[in-house]
Amino acid sequence: MADIQTYSHDAGWKHTVLRGLLYLVLILFAAYYLFPLIVMISTSLKSLDEIREGSLISLPRVVTFDAWNYAWNEACVGVECTGIKIYFWNSVKMAIPAVLISTFLGAINGYALTKWRFKGANIVFALLLFGCFIPFQVVLLPMSQVLGKLGLASSTPGLVLVHVVYGLCFTTLFFRNYYVSIPDELVKAATIDGAGFFTIFWRIILPISTPIIVVSVIWQFTQIWNDFLFGASFASGANAPMTVALNNIVNTTTGVKQYNVDMAAALLTGLPTLLVYVLAGKYFVRGLTAGSVKG
C-alpha cells in the first residue's frame, strides 16, 4: 500500500509539471496567433491621434467606432469614396450563388460517379481530381478569353462562373468520397421501388448528405470569399469583390495613412468567414472525417 502511495504521489508531481509545461506551450502558441488579431482590433478602435501618440500594443484609451463607420461608408477605394460596403455586397452576390451552384453540382457529380457508374467514370473522376491541383495562375489567361467571348468579362456573373468551375473539382471530391460509404443497395432498393436518377437524388441521397454539404459550403465560402487573384483579374472597378477593395483602400497612398480605417476594413472583410466557422465549425471537422473510414 505504502509503495503504491509513494509511487502515485511521485507520478502526481510529475504529472502536474508536465501539464504545466503543456499549457505553457499551448498558451504561447495561442498568444502568437491571437496577438496580431488583438492589435488589429485595438488599433481599429483608436482614433488616429491616439495611434500616432501611443505604441502599437497599447489598448485604446477612448474606444471609438469612427474608423469602422468610416471604412464601411466613406473610405476611398481608388478614386471613389463610397466606403467598402458596396464591395461587401459585391462579394455576397458573388460568393452565395457560386457556393450554392458548385456545392449542388458537386453533389450530383459525386452521386453519379458512385451510384450510377458509367463507362469511363474513373477517368472522369481522375480528371476532376487533377483539377484540384491546377494553380490559379495557369488558368488566368484562357479564362479571361472565355469570359470575354461569353460577354461576362468584368462582371459578377463572370466571377461566379470562374469560382463554380474552379470549385467543382473540390466539391465533387468531397461528395464522391462521402457517397462511396453509402451502400449501393439503397439505390437498388429505390430503383425497384420505381424511383429514377433525380428522384433518388432528391428524396434519398440529398437528405442524408447534411454533414458533407456543410463541409462543402464552408470550404467553398472560405475559398471564394478570400480569393483575391480571380477578383482582381476578372472584375474591376465597381464590380470588384471586397478583397480587392480592401487592397485598394490599404494601398491608397494619398494623404495620411489611416491605420485604424485599414484595420477596420480588414476585420470587416474577414468577418463573414469567421462567422461561418464559428457557426458550423464542428460540422466541418465531423464531415471531413465522415467519409474517411471507408474510402
Q: Kindly report the backbone phi and psi dihedral angles of residue 4, in degrees, each rounded to the nearest multiple of 5, phi listed first.
A: -60, -40
In DSSP terms, 80 is beta-bridged to 77
CA atoms within 13 A on the CB side of 169: 15
Grid coordinates of 48: 488616429
**Nearest approach, Cβ of residue 190 and another protein (Å):** 7
Q: Which of residues 137-166 bind another protein (CB under 8 A)?
A: none
Grid coordinates of 220: 467553398
Residue 68 neighbours by CB under 8 Å, 6+ apart: 44, 264, 268
**Nearest approach, Cβ of residue 99 and another protein (Å):** 23
Q: How many CB atoms are closer than 10 A to CB 141?
A: 10
Q: Does 192 participate in binding another protein (rule CB under 8 A)?
A: yes
Among 190, 218, 235, 265, binds another protein (CB under 8 A): 190
Q: Does 295 participate in binding another protein (rule CB under 8 A)?
A: no
**Nearest approach, Cβ of residue 210 and another protein (Å):** 10
d(CA 178, CA 289): 9
Which residue bears the cell 501539464?
A: 19
By C-beta, is 20 or 120 nearer to another protein? 120
Grid coordinates of 226: 478570400
By C-beta, is 171 or 209 nearer to another protein? 209
Among 82, 191, 226, 247, binds another protein (CB under 8 A): 191
Among 105, 204, 232, 288, binds another protein (CB under 8 A): 204
Can you tell me whether residue 77 is helix, strand or coil?
Answer: strand
Contact window for another protein (CB under 8 A) among 28-36, 110-118, 127-135, 179-187: 179-187
**Residues in contact with another protein by the rule CB under 8 A:** 183, 185-186, 188-195, 199, 203-204, 207-208
